[in-house]
Structures are given as C-alpha cells and as structure tokens.
C-alpha cells in the first residue's frame, strides 16, 4: 500500500463504486457494472423582429433581425470533476449563439423593370466546455503545469488501457473545450426585366466568409496520461491486461503523457463572387423555355494571420507555412475562372391534362475547408513516451514522468524565416499530414430530368420521371502513403512510397478531386389534392447510386482499395434500390361543417377528428464487408473471398441473416498474401418497414379558447428495424444481425391556445 501514488489515490477516489451487474448470472462482474441517470438540460432563447416600410409608390424596405442561443448541459456520469467515459467524454456545457440580420430594398422602376438589393449577415458562435471548465482541478489534485490558462482549466485526462477503449477513465474528451464561429456576409443585386414574352433575370452576389475553429483532438489542452500493462509486468512475462493496467495507475507510472498546445487560433477567410443571367421565354401558349448561365468564382482562402495555414509538399518533403518567408497566404493555390454553370428547362403542354418537362443544370461544390489548420505547426502537441515498451514515459530532462512533476513548460516549435519546415525528425515523421493540391479543381454535378405529368379524374395528379446526375471531379481523401503498387502487396510498411523515399509511415492525405459518381432513377408519384377531407401523397423510386466513397465522405473518407483503384467504384452506402412512401391526411366526416352528425351529442363526441399517417417501405442499404484477416498492405482494406453464392437466410439474433459459409480468408485459402474478391457493397441488408400515425382533434371551447388533443404513434405496427448484420469475417457474430430499432412509441398531448 505504501507504493500507491498519493495523487493517483486521490484521482481514483473520484470513481464511483459498482452499483449494477448487467452480465449473465455466474459470470464476472468487472464490466457492465455501473449505471447512472444524469441530468440533461436544454434551454433556448430566441427572438425575431422585422420592420417593413413602403417608402413611396416604388420602393419597399424591410429590415429583419433574428437571434437564437440554445444552451445545453450534459452532466458527467462520474461527477463534475471526474467526468468519465460515457458518451466519449463529451459531457459539459454548450452554447450556440446565432444571429441573422438582413436589409431588403425592392424598387419598381417601371412596370417591366424591378430591382432588388439585399445585404445579409449570418453568424454563429458555438462554444463547448468541459463541466469543470474554469476550475484549477489538476492543480488542486497535485498535478502542476496543467491549468496554465482558462482554455487548459479542469482535470487532466487519465486513460487506463482496456477500461473503456480510448474514452477517458477520468476526465473529458480531447476535443473539449472548443470555439467554433462562422460569419457570412452576403450582398445581392437582382434585376428582373419583362420584354414581350421574355422575362430576363440577372444580377450578382458577393459573399465574405469568416470561419474560426479552435479545437484540439489528440491529447486535449489539459493533457492525457495513458497507462498500460507492461509498466507493471515482468519483461517477457504474461501480464493480466486489466489488472496490470490498473496497477500502473496505482503506482503512477504512465507509458505516454501528452498535451495539445494552442499556438495558433486557426481561422479561414475567403471571398465568393457569382454573376448570373437568365431568360424565361414563353415561346407559345404550349412551350416555355427557361435558360440561364451562372459564373462562380472562388478565390483560394487565406488564414487570418501569417502562419495560420500549413501544407505538406511531398516534392521537397517539407511543410510550407502560409504568409511566412516568400510563401503566399493562399499557399499558391490556383485561381479558377472557368466555373460556368448553365441551366436549361423545357415545359411543353401536350393537352389540357398533359405536360412534359425536362431540365439540365450544373452546380459547383467549392473548396471550403480548414484542413490546413490540422497540419503542424498550426496544431502542435508535446508527447513524452517510454524508451522501451516496459519503461515509464520520459520527460525532456530525462527523468520519468510522474503526477507530482506534472507537465513541463510547453515546448513550442518555431517556424524558420523562410516558412519551410523539413520533415526530417522522428517526431515529424510520425505525424499525419494533409495535402491540398495547388491545382485543385472545383467539383461539379451535372443534373437532369425528364418528367411526364398527367391530371387524372378525382383530383389526382400522376408524375412519371427519369432523374439522374453525374458527379465530375468529385473529391475524396486519398492517402498518398498507401501501397498502390501491386508489386508491394504483403510487404507492409516497406511498400509505402513515402517510407521508401523519406522513411515516413504515417498517412499523407490529399484532397483528390478526380473521381466520379452517378445516380439514375425512375420516380413515380400519384397525389390527390385536398378533396372531401382527404389528401393523399404516393411516391415510388427505383434508383441506383454509384461512387468511389461513402456518402458525405467524398470529402471525409478515403477509398478502400489503392492497389486496384477501380474496385472502389460501386453502390453508395445510402443506396436503396426501391423506396415507397404513402402519406394521408383524413378529416373524418363527422361534426359541425362536415357531412355527418353536425349537431347534437354525436357532434360533441365525433366532431373535429383528423387522422394522419406516413407509411415507408424500403429495401436495405448495402453491406460493406471486412475481414479481421490481414493482407499486410497499408492503406488497403482486406475483404473476404466469396467461395459460394451469397445466400440470405433472414435469421435474427442467434440465427444467421446470411450464410457465413460463403466466405473465406483469402490468404489462408490460397496460402499467400492476396486480396479477397468481395468489392464494395456487393449485397444489401435488411429492408425497412415503418408506419407512423396520429389522431388529433380541435375543440373550440369558446370564441377565445381552443383545445387540441392528439396522440402520435411512432412505428405503430411495432415492426423491428433490423440493423445490418455483422460483415467482418472473423467476428463471432459474422453473418448475424443482433440489433434493431423501431420500437413503438406513443405520445399523448393536450394543448390550450387562446
């Protein structure tokens, strides 16, 4: 007991004792043994104001201002000081002050010329803080060098490996606190001119963007102490991970100590300019053409201050720092003047009941990203590691790291006068870098549609259309240091190109804008406008979406396969082949003003009721197969080998949803390092069926008072929404779906308005 570190003892005393056992009877109680109901508070303050003024016969001016500031508090499970791992350590307070203001001036110069000028401002500031923000908790517990500023206030992080993954045993998420703010200022001038059967529209839009983000993500500003098993195990012996990890905590012997440094406040500044013109041409009573052209200009963004951007240049194996030395603030990104976006629309009336419509357009996706801010030295940290796998973390003075010593003064890297930092030290070679190519091309999407519309008897409207789009130069995050040469399959780090050239094994991620995406669909809708108390909306889509990366990941995720890049092209992760939707609003024909029981007791009981419902049926989303086996080819995903036709068994829980015998470990099967033949999303998972319904009634109590009763039934049929099955070969549940949502929920509500 005398060897227990006193600071560690005080920290461990913050942890609550077990209060539950969610394990099977007779099994160990060292996990799933704590539960806590913690307060969650959400409050919102907002207001809207608007003033309209008719300044004469030709001018109308309006001014508006909106403000909203939601406040959220999630109490930590282990107490304000201890925090804890639940929710990934994201426990604390958050505010999101949002402002929106605008001035509109409309002027009717003549019956055929109208001008509109608008200036608008939108701003939000999102701040999130750990629950003990503002307190010198680390200092109070005897750990110096942590709480050196308000941003570093609170308890330092403690992670006992194996306790709860990478979540903190004590402390808060490394991302807390953060400050995110964005301000957009828009100036718009729009003109409309009517000339005969032409309606011309033209104008421009100037936008100023200010984007600020101060957020750490590695160790946290308060630091993180990581404890492993080896520090209390016999060299070469077999330690019990959980017990030895905790013993390392008790003795105060970490294997890694690190903290993030706030050297810069990353900030992105940019302009956008748009010019456009169009013509709506009524060629004849049956034919209408809509023609337009938009020019979009996105000058490369810059940091607020010199040194605020950093870009890796592989040709010289160095980091180039914006605005320092001879480096331009925009890091030399090219300006693109050729982003023209045409739009064409055609509407032709075949008869009184039939219309054909077709359209084509291009829309650009500009590069707006603060990825520059993730590179060294914009983001810096101090990390102190053990010299051997069994030793303690060593501080810069050569002594072991201890709670009592805390953190030394921050070691801040300086930028050379020429703004070029060679990546030639072990510390930098172990860091991951982002690369923004100087010749980055703005992605764009070509969209088109062809639709036939028919007015049917009974207030029904039928639409049948083909809708498609094609993404060009779509971006994804491409790891330049992944093995892409087939000659290096199975060679591990030796096959990484930047390891062969510079000794770098970490990822070097480039925003790569050279892939495509495609979507094609048949879309049918049959709608009934409100008639006799009934509104119906029916739609069906048969479609297919293809691409090289996951949804919302064309910007945030990389490909699975580098050796054979074409294997990445396949169904998108959101692709559902069939989608059917049916909705209804039905005012029951009872009560005053309706067909039946307009008076008397029946009116009191049955009058004023309305039924609504939304019914959804969809096929499943694609399955993304994985394999616990390895092909030892960094950057590439290993997938199973399909050795028999894929067979769905549709079992749930302990039964198989698909036949796992159809898959095998390719390396074990062939006796050599090779990739499996299963590509991206070759099969789909369980379908989706859901019915939401509601019943409500308005009761006019008096002329001033109205009472509304309603009941909402979510997942009214209580049909399970099964999760996709486990698709990682080697997992114990491979081929099984063990989770589901869609439990029925019923809400009752009563509202009085006056």
Same domain, 104 and 139: no
Buried b (16+ CB within 10 A) or exposed e, 58-80: eebeeeeeeeebeeebbbbbbbb
Domain boundary among 363, 395, 412: 412
CATH number of domain containing 119:
3.90.1150.210
Task: Kindly give, in sequence order, each residue whose CB lies less than 8 Å from that of residue 398, ignoring residues fewer than 6 positions away.
Answer: none
The token duo for 183 is 């301000």
Residue 419: φ, ψ to 5° = 70, 20
Query: Alpha-carbon distance 132 to 146, whole Å?
Result: 14
- With respect to residue 587, please indicate whether it lies within any of the assigned structural domains: yes
Give the pLDDT score at 672: 86
Same domain, 499 and 644: yes
CB 725 within 8 A of CB 687: no
- With respect to residue 746, please indicate whether it lies within any of the assigned structural domains: yes
- With respect to residue 567, please indicate whether it lies within any of the assigned structural domains: yes
CB 720 within 8 A of CB 748: no
Give the pLDDT score at 252: 92
Same domain, 125 and 159: no
Give the pLDDT score at 240: 63
Domain boundary among 395, 412, 429: 412
The boundaries of the domain holding residue 246 are: 1-35+131-173+222-261+380-412
- The pTM of this model reads 0.85
CB 226 within 8 A of CB 257: yes
Give ∠ CA 416-419-423 in degrees, rounded to 5.
80
Query: Alpha-carbon distance 661 to 682, whole Å?
Result: 16
The token duo for 513 is 């804008």
CB 226 within 8 A of CB 253: no
- With respect to residue 191, please indicate whether it lies within any of the assigned structural domains: no
Domain boundary among 412, 430, 464: 412
Give the pLDDT score at 554: 41
| Helix, strand, coil in percent for the chain, rounding step 5 | 10, 45, 45
Give ∠ CA 566-570-573 in degrees, rounded to 5.
135
CB 536 within 8 A of CB 543: no
- Which regions of the chain are under pLDDT 70? 1, 22-30, 165, 236-240, 368-370, 372-373, 551-556, 593, 598, 602-606
Beta strand residue intervals within 131-218, DSSP E: 157-160, 178-195, 198-215
Same domain, 402 and 480: no
Query: Alpha-carbon distance 337 to 330, whole Å?
Result: 16
Same domain, 466 and 568: yes
Name the nearest CA neighbour of 332 among 344, 315, 348, 349.
Answer: 315
The token duo for 617 is 């049926």
Pairing relation of β-strands 444-456 and 354-364? antiparallel
Give the pLDDT score at 26: 61
- Give the CA count within 13 Å in the CB-facing half-sphere of 568: 22
Residue 474: φ, ψ to 5° = -70, 140
CB 82 within 8 A of CB 118: no
Name the nearest CA neighbour of 170 among 251, 246, 233, 232.
Answer: 246
| Helix, strand counts (H, E) of the chain | 7, 35
The token duo for 532 is 């006799």
The average confidence (pLDDT) of the chain is 90
CB 378 within 8 A of CB 308: yes
Give the pLDDT score at 374: 76
Question: How many domains is the chain partitioned into structurally?
Answer: 3
- With respect to residue 597, please indicate whether it lies within any of the assigned structural domains: yes
Same domain, 498 and 536: yes
Query: Alpha-carbon distance 382 to 692, whole Å?
Result: 53
- Per the listing, tokens 């957020």 go with 215
The residues facing 288 across adjacent strands are: 282, 347
Task: For the beta carbon of residue 684, count every other beta carbon within 10 angstroms.
Answer: 17
Sign for the CA dihedral angle at 79, 82, 87, 91 comes to positive
- With respect to residue 678, please indicate whether it lies within any of the assigned structural domains: yes
The residues facing 710 across adjacent strands are: 696, 749
Same domain, 117 and 148: no
- With respect to residue 255, please indicate whether it lies within any of the assigned structural domains: yes
Query: Alpha-carbon distance 447 to 456, whole Å?
Result: 29
Same domain, 17 and 165: yes
- 537 by DSSP, 3-state: which? strand
Query: Alpha-carbon distance 584 to 534, whole Å?
Result: 7
The residues facing 601 across adjacent strands are: none
Q: First-to-last CA distance in the chain?
A: 70
Same domain, 449 and 493: yes
Give ∠ CA 245-217-224 in degrees, rounded to 5.
30
Same domain, 65 and 31: no
CB 290 within 8 A of CB 254: no
Question: How many residues are given for the chain?
Answer: 754
Pairing relation of β-strands 59-74 and 157-160? unpaired
- 10 by DSSP, 3-state: which? helix
Residue 12: φ, ψ to 5° = -65, -30
Same domain, 96 and 6: no
- Per the listing, tokens 């029951």 go with 588
- With respect to residue 546, please indicate whether it lies within any of the assigned structural domains: yes
Same domain, 587 and 647: yes
């Amino acid at each position: 007991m005398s060897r227990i570190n006193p600071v560690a003892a005080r920290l461990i005393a913050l942890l609550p004792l077990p209060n539950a056992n969610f394990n099977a009877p007779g099994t160990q109680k060292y996990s799933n043994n704590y539960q806590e109901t913690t307060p969650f508070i959400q409050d919102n303050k907002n207001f809207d104001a608007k003033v309209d003024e008719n300044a004469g016969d030709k001018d109308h001016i309006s001014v508006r201002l909106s403000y909203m500031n939601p406040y959220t508090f999630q109490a930590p499970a282990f107490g304000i000081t201890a925090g804890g791992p639940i929710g990934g350590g994201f426990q604390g307070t958050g505010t999101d002050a949002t402002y929106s203001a605008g001035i509109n001036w409309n002027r009717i110069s003549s019956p055929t010329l109208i001008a509109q000028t608008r200036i608008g401002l939108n701003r939000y500031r999102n701040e999130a803080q750990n629950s003990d923000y503002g307190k010198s908790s680390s200092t109070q517990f005897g750990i110096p060098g942590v709480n050196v500023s308000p941003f570093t206030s609170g308890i330092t992080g403690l992670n006992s490996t194996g306790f709860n993954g990478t979540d903190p045993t004590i402390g808060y998420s490394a991302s807390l606190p953060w400050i995110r703010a964005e301000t957009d200022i828009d100036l718009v001038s729009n003109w409309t001119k009517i000339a005969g059967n032409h309606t011309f529209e033209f104008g421009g839009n100037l936008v100023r963007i200010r984007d600020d983000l101060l957020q750490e993500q590695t160790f946290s500003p308060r630091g993180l102490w990581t404890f492993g098993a080896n520090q209390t195990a016999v060299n070469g012996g077999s330690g019990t991970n959980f017990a030895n990890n905790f013993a390392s905590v008790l003795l105060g012997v970490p294997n890694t100590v690190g903290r993030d440094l706030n050297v810069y406040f990353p900030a992105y500044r940019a302009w956008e300019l748009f010019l456009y013109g169009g013509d709506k041409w009524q060629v004849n009573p049956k034919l209408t053409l809509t023609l337009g052209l938009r020019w979009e200009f996105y000058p490369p963004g810059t940091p607020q201050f010199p040194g605020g951007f950093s870009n890796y240049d592989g040709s010289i194996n160095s980091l180039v720092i914006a605005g320092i030395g001879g480096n331009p603030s925009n890091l030399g990104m090219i300006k693109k003047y050729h982003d023209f976006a045409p739009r064409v629309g055609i509407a032709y009336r075949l008869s009184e009941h039939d219309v054909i419509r077709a359209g084509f357009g291009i829309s650009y996706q500009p590069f707006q990203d603060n990825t520059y801010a993730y590179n060294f030295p914009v983001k810096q940290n101090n990390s102190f590691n053990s010299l051997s796998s069994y030793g303690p973390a060593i501080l810069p003075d050569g002594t072991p790291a201890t709670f009592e010593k805390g953190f030394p003064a921050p070691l801040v890297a300086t930028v050379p006068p020429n703004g070029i930092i060679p990546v030639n030290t072990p510390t930098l070679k172990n860091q991951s870098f982002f690369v923004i190519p100087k010749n980055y091309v703005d992605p764009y999407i070509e969209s088109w549609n062809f639709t036939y519309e028919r007015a049917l008897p009974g207030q029904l409207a039928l639409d049948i259309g083909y809708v498609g789009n094609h993404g060009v130069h779509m971006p994804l995050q491409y790891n330049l240091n992944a093995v892409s040469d087939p000659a290096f399959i199975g060679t591990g780090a030796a096959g990484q190109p930047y390891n062969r050239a510079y000794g770098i094994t970490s990822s070097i991620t480039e925003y790569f804008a050279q892939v495509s995406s495609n979507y094609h669909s048949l879309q049918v809708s049959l709608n009934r406008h409100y008639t006799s108390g009934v509104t119906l909306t029916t739609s069906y889509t048969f479609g297919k979406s293809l691409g090289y990366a996951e949804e919302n990941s064309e910007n945030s995720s990389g490909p699975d396969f580098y050796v054979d890049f074409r294997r990445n092209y396949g169904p998108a992760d959101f692709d559902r082949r069939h989608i059917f939707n049916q909705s209804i609003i039905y005012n029951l024909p009872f009560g005053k003003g309706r067909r039946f029981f307009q008076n008397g007791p029946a009116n009191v009981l049955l009058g004023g009721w309305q039924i609504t419902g939304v019914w959804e049926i969809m096929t499943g989303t694609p399955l993304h197969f994985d394999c616990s086996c390895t092909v030892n080819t960094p950057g590439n995903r290993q997938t199973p080998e399909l050795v028999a036709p894929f067979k769905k068994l549709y079992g749930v829980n302990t039964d198989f949803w698909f036949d796992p015998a159809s898959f095998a470990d390719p390396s074990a099967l062939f006796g050599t390092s090779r990739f499996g033949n299963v590509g991206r999303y070759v099969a789909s998972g369980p379908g989706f069926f859901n019915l939401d319904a509601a019943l409500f009634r308005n009761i006019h109590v008096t002329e001033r008072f109205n009472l509304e009763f309603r009941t909402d039934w979510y997942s009214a049929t209580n049909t399970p929404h099964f999760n996709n099955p486990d698709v990682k070969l080697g997992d114990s549940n491979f081929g099984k779906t063990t989770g589901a949502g869609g439990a029925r929920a019923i809400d009752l509500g009563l509202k009085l308005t006056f």
